């Protein structure tokens, strides 16, 4: 359970005393939080228990003092070993234990320039929303419910990994998205309780082959249009201290902005989507929920560099090559 705001001083004293940082990660508000009901037009849920802004700030301070990793990364060192770590400034502090449960942030600090960032977790699946921004729908009808499809784990890559365009592909587009990362097993939860199952957020690129998806010779299902190898980019890390209500997404191709939109323009928000999907599908720790892409999407070609940036999280960057 997340500590109340009154315990911030205690965490400060513990940190100053050099106490071991053994934590169970959580980014959520104290039990004493006030209920804030927001208009469903915010597209992030019909209603939810959220801290007011002053309390949210206090929760962030308590979370930092308690030792929660604000930026959870997964990385490989020069000797080939793989670790989870907490990114601070230009370094990453190694985490031992379970990053989704009890863990310790150690004093072992390595420069980011000396490690290879990997996909920040190892999901069993990613569910991805189709048509969740009005700017992306165009003349098509608005979905009556959240409409997801699934990306296979074999499609996942991290930041700086290469997106490979299959040699027989016709048009492959970049789709920048906000991605929710689950922190614990999630099954049949309510909108109000959905926040308690979220570990944090990251950037995603739902790479998509349009001919296989919706062309004249389209497949019956989107198995290769959405899940071809390297088509599931996400990273660079998971930010546990982040307010999606205020987020904005930008997608750039070769430095030019191709998509830019706020999360408040979503049709279906995070709580209602989790509540609906978890009625039928169980999410495991580390599973992903891509929240849909806005506007028009940009076709990719050999030699491009695509970046998905969400201020407050970071930038997912991937070069693009054509399969040989």
Tally of structural domains, the chain: 2
By 3-state DSSP, what share of the chain in percent is helix, strand and coil, each rounded to 5? Answer: 20, 35, 45
Distance separating alpha carbons of residues 202 and 51, to the nearest angstrom: 21
> What confidence tens digit (pLDDT) does each residue in 123-143 have?
999 999 999 999 998 888 899
Cα 169 to Cα 166: distance, rounded to the nearest angstrom = 5
Residue 4 lies in a domain: no
Which residues touch 180 (CB under 8 Å, ≥6 apart)? 198, 201, 244, 270, 274, 288, 289, 291
Does residue 5 register a pLDDT over 70?
Answer: no
pLDDT at 29: 43
Asked if 165 and 44 sit in the same domain, the reply is: no
- Considering the domain architecture, whether residues 163 and 306 belong to the same structural domain is answered as yes
- Residues 113 and 149 placed together within one structural domain of the fold: no
Same domain, 109 and 232: no
Domain of 267, CATH number, reads 3.90.850.10
User: With the CA atoms of 299, 255, 138 and 314 taken in that order, what torsion angle do they form, in degrees rounded to the nearest 10?
Assistant: 110
- Residue 113 pLDDT > 70: yes
Residue 143 contacts by C-beta under 8 Å, 6 or more apart in sequence? Answer: 130, 131, 132, 267, 268
Residues 254, 186 share a domain: yes
Q: Is residue 5 part of a domain?
A: no
Query: Domain end: 76, 91, 117, which one?
Result: 117
**Which of these, 256, 268, 273, lies nearest to 134 by C-alpha position?**
268
Q: Are residues 217 and 282 in the same domain?
A: yes
Per the structure, the complete domain to which residue 220 belongs is given by 126-322
CA distance 110 to 91: 5
Q: Are residues 107 and 156 in the same domain?
A: no
φ, ψ (nearest 5 deg) of residue 105: -90, 110
CB 140 within 8 A of CB 217: no
> Residue 170 pLDDT more than 70?
yes
Q: How many CA atoms within 13 Å lie on the side-chain side of 129?
A: 32
As a dihedral over the C-alpha atoms of residue 228, residue 185, residue 313, residue 303, rounded to 10 degrees, the angle is: -10
Last residue of a domain, one of 86, 117, 148: 117
Q: Give residue-wise pLDDT tens across range 75-102.
A: 999 999 999 999 999 999 999 999 999 9
In terms of domains, do 85 and 110 share one? yes
Please tell me whether residues 305 and 174 are part of one structural domain: yes
The answer to whether position 3 is within a domain reads no
pTM of the model: 0.81
Buried b (16+ CB within 10 A) or exposed e, 230-256: bbbbbbbbbbbbbbbbebebbbbbeee
248 with 293: CB under 8 angstroms? Answer: no
């Amino acid at each position: 359970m997340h500590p109340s705001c009154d315990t911030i001083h205690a965490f400060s004293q513990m940190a100053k005393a050099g106490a071991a940082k053994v934590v169970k990660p959580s980014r959520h508000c104290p039990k004493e939080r006030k209920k804030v009901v927001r208009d469903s037009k915010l597209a992030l849920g019909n209603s939810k228990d959220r801290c007011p802004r002053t309390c949210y700030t206090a929760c962030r301070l308590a979370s930092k003092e308690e030792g929660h990793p604000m930026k959870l990364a997964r990385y490989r060192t020069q000797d080939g070993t793989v670790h989870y770590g907490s990114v601070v400034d230009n370094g990453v502090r190694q985490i031992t234990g379970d990053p989704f449960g009890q863990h310790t942030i150690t004093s072992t600090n390595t420069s980011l320039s000396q490690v290879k960032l990997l996909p920040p977790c190892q999901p069993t699946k990613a569910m991805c929303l189709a048509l969740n921004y009005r700017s992306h729908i165009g003349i098509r009808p608005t979905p009556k419910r959240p409409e997801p499809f699934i990306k296979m784990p074999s499609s996942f890559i991290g930041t700086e990994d290469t997106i490979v365009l299959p040699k027989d592909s016709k048009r492959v587009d970049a789709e920048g998205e906000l991605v929710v990362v689950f922190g614990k097993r999630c099954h049949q939860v309510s909108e109000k309780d959905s926040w308690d199952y979220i570990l944090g957020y990251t950037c995603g690129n739902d790479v998509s082959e349009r001919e296989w998806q919706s062309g004249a010779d389209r497949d019956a299902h989107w198995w290769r249009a959405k899940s071809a190898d390297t088509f599931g980019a996400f990273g660079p890390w998971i930010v546990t201290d982040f307010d999606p209500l205020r987020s904005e997404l930008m997608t750039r191709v070769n430095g030019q902005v191709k998509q830019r939109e706020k999360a408040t323009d979503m049709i279906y928000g995070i709580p209602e989507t989790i509540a609906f999907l978890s009625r039928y599908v169980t999410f495991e720790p580390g599973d992903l929920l891509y929240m849909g892409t806005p506007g028009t999407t940009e076709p990719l070609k050999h030699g491009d560099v695509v970046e998905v940036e969400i201020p407050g999280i970071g930038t997912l960057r991937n070069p693009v090559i054509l399969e040989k």
